[in-house]
Amino acid sequence: MKLQRPKGTNDILPGESEKWQFVEETMRRVFSNYHFSEIRTPIFEYYEVISRSVGDTTDIVTKEMYDFYDKGDRHVTLRPEGTAPVVRSYVENKKFAPEVQKPFKVYYTGPMFRYERPQAGRLREFHQIGVENFGSKNPATDVETIAMAKAFFDQLGVQEIKLVINSLGDSETRQRYRETLIAYLAQHETQLSADSKRRLYENPLRVLDSKDQADIEIVKAAPSILDFLSEASQQHLETVKEMLAALDISYTIDANMVRGLDYYNDTIFEFITEIKGKALTICGGGRYDGLVSYFDGPDTAGFGFGIGLERLLLVLEEQEVALPVIQTLDVYVVVLGETANVAALKLVQSLRHQGYSAERDFLDRKIKQQFKSAEEFGAKTIITLGESEMTSDDIVVKNNLTRQTVQTTLTAIQQDFTAVFAAVTADQ
């Protein structure tokens, strides 16, 4: 058997991993400005955590979950999305308690797993950024969280993104709309796809999310859920629209957008961009006020979103957005001869302990090859260390770009490199 990575997974190698780090650092900086804190949940959960919350009729549960029985005959699954595990953690750790500051705002990033056909920006092991905000029914929470997603994309330089919103209403809305939608779809039942026929009477809203072309054509003339909104849901939507306008965030409304999960109510949204003439969703989320109580917690409002990292990086690449990938090096130590091996070891360690990034030659290469490595590493300064420098204690620190040099001693820079480094890099 040829040893290789499983289908639908990727190795993230040096040169690419720096892009991931930059996106993650941007995420942490932007989300922290909105007072979100990081949460980390297990990669696998009990099956029921996902199946009950996401919905038994969703593609995630019926087709895509990596679920199995472990050695203790416990039914577990690799997490296919991030919201349900965070809600489970919120309830289990009693973050709804009175002494916990409200709203409770968290973000996360990590691998998720879905068994589906691998394609560009969509893998079986994929990575997701997500946020969850518990405890506020205020429409300002919806708008502020949407604004945070936009601020994140703006910081990264994502171009031509479009915000699309809709309302799924409350339980009263859903019940009235469900009956009307079933009546409409039943007229076209013979033309529906097999999946939509199965969902028609179990979860008709999922038909609106079908990617089958025949279903899409039928859905175009379906009644709009916006015509069935309760007074409270209508007011919530109007306030969200007013607040988006107040922040100068443009949007469009898509009455057929339902998102792919069953737990949403009222506001849902997507950020969409266009790649090679094809619309691509790069962020999606919404409100889920009933999910915490579904996990046996108290009645708690919730709002959040998810972003696929692979898809986001694909968009940045296609839009030719340059991300910083080069790690510059403060010091490269050229090592001349075996006798300088120990001294070079001590030198780079002392520089690192002082907070400088440092590398050295380990392969006893010729000096020309070592200087080439310094160039490839983007080293700011070069120190040449051989037997004569060890004997005399005299050291030359050279600016790798301007060739300016500073004369000092080996002993001095091992004790404090600050002044020398500042002097030799002053013109950079």
Cα-only R_g, the chain:
28
CATH for 17-158+251-318 (3.30.930.10, 3.40.50.720, 3.20.20.70, 3.40.366.10): 3.30.930.10
pLDDT > 60? residue 169: yes
Q: Can you tell me the distance from the alpha carbon of 247 to that of 239, in angstroms, rounded to the nearest whole number?
A: 12
The torsion angle over the Cα atoms of residues 49, 55, 57 and 60, rounded to 10 degrees, is -60
- 120 pLDDT tier (thresholds 50, 70, 90): low
H/E run at residue 394: strand 394-399
Higher pLDDT, 58 or 248: 248
Find the mean pLDDT for residues 3-10: 90
**What percent of the chain has pLDDT above 70?**
95
Exposure letters 248-269 (e unless 16+ CB within 10 A, then b)? eeeeeeeeebbbebbbbbbbbb
Spatial contact of 259 and 286, defined as CB atoms under 8 Å apart: yes
Find the mean pLDDT for residues 229-245: 96
pLDDT in tens, 328-353: 899 999 999 999 999 999 999 999 99
Ramachandran assignment for 40, one of left (phi > 0), alpha (psi -120 to 50 degrees), beta (any other): beta
pLDDT at 325: 75
pTM confidence score: 0.88
pLDDT > 70? residue 420: yes
pLDDT > 80? residue 53: no
**Closest Cα to residue 374, out of 340, 390, 406, 397?**
397
pLDDT > 70? residue 100: yes
Spatial contact of 248 and 133, defined as CB atoms under 8 Å apart: no
pLDDT > 80? residue 136: yes
pLDDT at 198: 84
**How many CB atoms sit inside 10 A of residue 307's CB?**
23
**Closest Cα to residue 97, out of 393, 300, 354?**
300
Kindly state which CATH superfamily the domain 329-424 is placed in. Anticodon-binding domain (3.40.50.800)
pLDDT at 261: 61
The answer to whether domain 17-158+251-318 and domain 329-424 are alike in fold is: no
Find the mean pLDDT for residues 61-69: 81
Spatial contact of 128 and 24, defined as CB atoms under 8 Å apart: no
Find the mean pLDDT for residues 101-126: 87
pLDDT at 258: 78
Mean pLDDT across the chain? 91
Q: Can you tell me the distance from the alpha carbon of 10 to that of 12, in angstroms, rounded to the nearest whole number?
A: 6
**How many CB atoms sit inside 10 A of residue 418's CB?**
11
Q: Domain residue spans in the chain?
A: 17-158+251-318, 329-424
pLDDT at 1: 66
Q: Which residues pair with 362 in a beta bridge?
A: none
pLDDT at 58: 57
